[in-house]
Structure 1
Amino acid sequence: MARGDFKTDVTCGLENLPVFVDTGGASVGDGWRKFKYSPENVSGPGAALDPSEITFPGCDCLSSSCQSDSCLCLQRHGTAYTDDLRLASSATQQEAGFSKPVFECNIMCKCGDSCKNRVVQRGLAYRFKVFETELKGCGLRTLEPIPQGSFVCEYAGEVLSSAEAHRRLRRQSSTDMNYIIAVKEHVRCGQVMETFVDPTALGNVGRFLNHSCQPNLFMVPVRVNSLVPRLALFAGCDIPANEELTFDYSGRYRNSEGSNFVPEEALSDIPCKPCYCASKTCSGFLPFDISL
């Protein structure tokens, strides 16, 4: 089959745009077949909150696009997106090294679908393909340029309790792929909110994103209907067509908050997996979270 002759949509038609498997060039294994597609988070074992539950009240805005001085949703965090629907704070985050949660307008809001405070919930806006990397298994590549600050995709799957996430990790062998991500948000009074998402058996296109020590995406927790955040990935720079999409699994990229990840100099006593990102700043090992 010739390169570019794509036949299989891994999203099963559940996204705005199909994501095909590149069957040209290197032979793609069957790893992309071993999961059920879901464009959004679903409640998994032990989850304290159901991601589909409507948690937030809606705004009463009747205009085509909400304004921060009158919109209840925007008053929670300020204006998150620019007029061209890019993350408004992306440049600030690059300079300050942090990201903050975003609250989009939700299903209870009176504003329309064209409201600029609705971005992540609209789904995929760029065309991607799944391809086989040389050493990392499957990867995800963009087929068109993506401007800095643009929403790219979610990292969605089963939302788990901490105990279930630990149980699943203990069952993994050294050769198993680990898709479980733990996101920690520092909130008021020194509290930390933890969200565990596992797209191993049920997830979305985000499961194909590989780690890089010099990534082109960064993650921001975005809340729409539920208190459970949607783990949204945005472009950290202008990304050209045909470039692989990656993010830093440790969350350190554009995030100066403290973490449980082991520093490189302390890795000698921990059986970490090698990193094959080949970036100039590669640490040599995939991030290891001692809390898991």
Structure 2
Amino acid sequence: MDQPVRRDPIPASESVDKSRVLEIRPLRSLAPVFPSQPNASFSTPVGGHFFCVPPYGPFPAEVTPFYPFFGSIGSQRRPEQNPQTPVGVPNQAAGSGYSNPVIAAVPIASFRTPPPTAQVNGDRSHGRSQSQSGFAEEECSDSLNQGAEFLSSFSMHTTDLDDTSKSKRAKNKSQRKARGSQETSVNFSDADVDLIFNNILSSYNLMEFSMVRRADGDRKSVGYILLIFDLLRRKLSQFEDTKEPTAGTIRRPDLKASTVLTNKGIRTNVKKRVGDVSGVEVGDIFYFRMEMNLVGLHFPCMAGIDYIGLKISQEEEAAAVSIVSSGGYEDNVEDGDGDVLIYSGQGGNIFRKDKEIMDQKLERGNLALENSFRRGNEIRVIRGIKDVATLNGKIYVYDGLYKIQESWVDKGKSGCNVFKYKLVRSPGQPEAFMTWKSVQQWKNGITSRNGIILPDLTSGVESIPVSVVNDVDDVKGPAHFTYVSSLKYSQHVNSVESSVGCTCRNGCLPGNPNCPCIKKNGGYLPCIAHGVLVNPKSLSHECGSSCLCPPNCRNRVSQGGLKVHLEVFRTKDKGWGLRSWDPIRAGAFICEYAGEVIDISKLELGVETEDDYVFDATRTYQPEDDLPCAFNEAMKIPFPLIITAKDIGNVARFMNHSCSPNVFWHPVLRENKEGCDLHIAFYAIKHIPPMMELTYNYGSVLPDKAMRKNNCLCGSSKCRGYFY
């Protein structure tokens, strides 16, 4: 195979004096000043000394501990004095935790304790920005992901996160100057968050954490941790939606949720390691940097380079373990077929408009990468890809293990020296980032999708086309049916409750106490931003035909048709299946089950249809090890519902069964003046990468019904071997 052409040629050795750069001392050689006794007073550093505070108390009056350890200052003690220190709370003496082993010391003035009147908790009150659709954007700017001012994964305040809006940055800066060291208060007390957290654990049967408290995780523990994190984040987002936004601040329920889990020891792979991380697979995606931290894939919440200290003889040197490449640096480029990455080093004040841009130095992450190049150790590479659903959000794709093949210093676009590293992907790994690139090329018309036999199965019924693909055999397509986008009732079912519609002409807004539709949902909208369902266990009440709100109302999530680009594809042994070109975040709406409602009177007579496209909402579900009960128990519905999609239906009719599904169904009730209609909506259980098959659990029929067993070919390690 020909060597790919590198865009940035390596300069001749005489053009760069590397020895001059190598003389720079790494920051680990600077000794931080700590008190000799726990209660010793902190003296002001003199000369050129730096001052650093350990992540445990007690703390002097003018210093606050690093995030996320400023939740309960008074109760914190040194780790060796607290026998109940949970897994995941750092112990610097043991050389573990979240901080990089090479710790940059910080001047004392940068960490100040708020005045006694300010409330200090594990998070700060943040405002929310609204997209055009009215959804609150949940973003984490990655523009400072390699900034030198962040000394470790948690050494930052949430109110100091980068805001990509120039006007907001200026406003935030002036507000910080005006209020001095005072911090904004949080929306929730620690007791409130603990109550929410405990309710989630009890509701979803997640009380046992022995499997996630181990130092090394597995696929099950990683999945549970990410599930708990996202359920808590969704609930906090739902609460914050009802609060008035605070000017100049950004709400970050993801940081609050990760702080709770960290402080309770609900994390895994707590020790940094070179190579693969137990329970994390190539191709896994993450919508929040804190998700990668909780499962041990990449510890820093902002820095792009993660590294550890490896002892060589009597010396210790830094070695890189993972990097995040998300286009934050102007010189990051891809090369060749996507298995090669030209990665720029960190530092140089590239993103600091208030400071002079300068040459990068061989220290911290850059030094770790240089050492890894010399040692030849593998590095985990996470690719950050633009999330089109948010203004500045990223989706992080774990692309597997790479090795540094070359390193050099080059002139960047700014004119200053930039460290460059050529990383090559190790062979024999599943495709991940290349799949994303292929899908993007299909969307942009650069290349055509192989095997397409029908460009749009919906014939224009859906706003997003659904292609039919067969690259397996000679079958020309699925049997004929009429495509419809929703459920067809022969008559409305009489509503057992009042069916008064809302008058929210601009859409139902969170926290509106006068909206009858919000009242039916317990005082909250059932979905937060991006159509993400908050509580899978309760019936959702959506706005009906008698409501005056517009079609894009936030309480009509399942009524707007498809939100992702789906394709029906031919499987090797299961007939037709369904998958998405787009990534799908956990809890997001995918589609509803369209078809004809079988007459309820026929159900009472025991009449059952025998076609293969039946959805029965009365089925029961066996306990599954891979899922909490929220996704595998029978949902309480107001009346029996059975749907047939044999003659009319939509893409949901092609979704196959799995004993370890990634999709679950959820009942949605839409009321109107004539009565009510029950619909079945499908949502993602977890983050789903592009081109992964979408599956759900078909469930089991009631004992008094005789149904044939079908051989299950889902391929799951938990496969029961059959389904009904």
TM-score, length-scaled by structure 2: 0.32
2:617 to 147, 158, 183: 183
Whether 1:276 and 2:720 are equivalent positions in the alignment is no
| 8 Å Cα contact 2:534-2:587 kept in structure 1 | yes
Query: If you compute each CA radius of gyration, which structure gives the higher value, 1 or 2?
Result: 2
Q: Can you list the C-alpha shifts for 1:203-260, whole angstroms capped at 9, x where unaligned? A: 1111000001111110111123462211100001000000001110118xxxxxxx72
1:14 to 431, 439, 461: 461
Counterparts of 2:599 and 2:505, CA distance in 1: 38
SS in 2 for 1:282: coil
Runs of at least 5 residues in structure 2 that lack an aligned partner in the other structure: 1-447, 619-634
Partner of residue 130, structure 1: 568
2:485 to 16, 35, 39: 39
| 8 Å Cα contact 2:517-2:541 kept in structure 1 | yes
Report the CA distance shift for 1:160/1:271 in structure 2 as closer, same or farther (over 3 A).
Answer: closer
Report the CA distance shift for 1:26/1:163 in structure 2 as closer, same or farther (over 3 A).
Answer: farther
1:232 to 661, 678, 681: 681
Counterparts of 1:49 and 1:63, CA distance in 2: 27
Partner of residue 72, structure 1: 516
Report the CA distance shift for 1:19/1:270 in structure 2 as closer, same or farther (over 3 A).
Answer: closer
SS in 2 for 1:224: strand
Counterparts of 1:116 and 1:5, CA distance in 2: 35
Partner of residue 557, structure 2: 119
| 8 Å Cα contact 1:65-1:114 kept in structure 2 | no
Whether 1:200 and 2:646 are equivalent positions in the alignment is yes
Partner of residue 104, structure 1: 542
SS in 2 for 1:207: helix
Higher RCO (CA < 8 A, seq sep 6+): 1
Partner of residue 154, structure 1: 592
Counterparts of 1:217 and 1:235, CA distance in 2: 5
Counterparts of 1:250 and 1:63, CA distance in 2: 40
| 8 Å Cα contact 1:3-1:25 kept in structure 2 | no
Shift, 1:42, TM fit: 1.2
| 8 Å Cα contact 1:66-1:111 kept in structure 2 | no
Counterparts of 2:550 and 2:492, CA distance in 1: 27
SS in 1 for 2:693: coil
**Amino acid aligned to 1:77:** N
**Amino acid aligned to 2:715:** A
**Amino acid aligned to 1:100:** S
Report the CA distance shift for 1:83/1:271 in structure 2 as closer, same or farther (over 3 A).
Answer: closer
Shift, 1:38, TM fit: 1.0
Whether 1:85 and 2:531 are equivalent positions in the alignment is yes
Pick the structure with more helix per residue.
Answer: 2
Report the CA distance shift for 1:270/1:74 in structure 2 as closer, same or farther (over 3 A).
Answer: closer
Counterparts of 1:242 and 1:23, CA distance in 2: 14
Report the CA distance shift for 1:7/1:29 in structure 2 as closer, same or farther (over 3 A).
Answer: closer
SS in 1 for 2:652: helix
| 8 Å Cα contact 1:195-1:228 kept in structure 2 | no
Partner of residue 24, structure 2: none
SS in 1 for 2:723: coil
| 8 Å Cα contact 1:28-1:138 kept in structure 2 | no
**Amino acid aligned to 2:562:** L
Shift, 1:50, TM fit: 6.8
State how 1:213-292 maps to structure 2 within 5 Å: 213-225=659-671, 227-250=676-699, 260=702, 271-287=708-724
Counterparts of 2:515 and 2:453, CA distance in 1: 44
**Amino acid aligned to 2:613:** Y
Report the CA distance shift for 1:186/1:149 in structure 2 as closer, same or farther (over 3 A).
Answer: closer
SS in 2 for 1:229: strand
SS in 1 for 2:501: coil
Q: Can you list the C-alpha shifts for 1:93-135, whole angstroms capped at 9, x where unaligned? A: 4xxxxx2211112332233334211210011010011111112
Report the CA distance shift for 1:197/1:144 in structure 2 as closer, same or farther (over 3 A).
Answer: same
Shift, 1:74, TM fit: 1.3
Report the CA distance shift for 1:121/1:271 in structure 2 as closer, same or farther (over 3 A).
Answer: closer
Partner of residue 58, structure 1: 501
Counterparts of 1:272 and 1:7, CA distance in 2: 32
> Does 65-74 or 131-140 show the bigger shift?
65-74
Q: Can you list the C-alpha shifts for 1:152-193, whole angstroms capped at 9, x where unaligned? A: 011111101256465453xx4xxxx52112113536xxxx62
Report the CA distance shift for 1:245/1:23 in structure 2 as closer, same or farther (over 3 A).
Answer: same
> Does 7-16 or 220-229 show the bigger shift?
220-229
Partner of residue 266, structure 1: none
| 8 Å Cα contact 2:539-2:636 kept in structure 1 | no
SS in 2 for 1:73: helix
Partner of residue 265, structure 1: none
Identity %: 31
CA RMSD of aligned residues (A): 2.8
Counterparts of 1:229 and 1:10, CA distance in 2: 26
Counterparts of 2:558 and 2:509, CA distance in 1: 16
> Does 231-240 or 12-21 show the bigger shift?
12-21
TM-score, length-scaled by structure 1: 0.76
Counterparts of 1:193 and 1:21, CA distance in 2: 35
| Number of aligned residue pairs | 249
Shift, 1:29, TM fit: 4.6
**Amino acid aligned to 1:35:** F
Whether 1:140 and 2:140 are equivalent positions in the alignment is no
| 8 Å Cα contact 2:666-2:682 kept in structure 1 | yes
Shift, 1:25, TM fit: 4.1
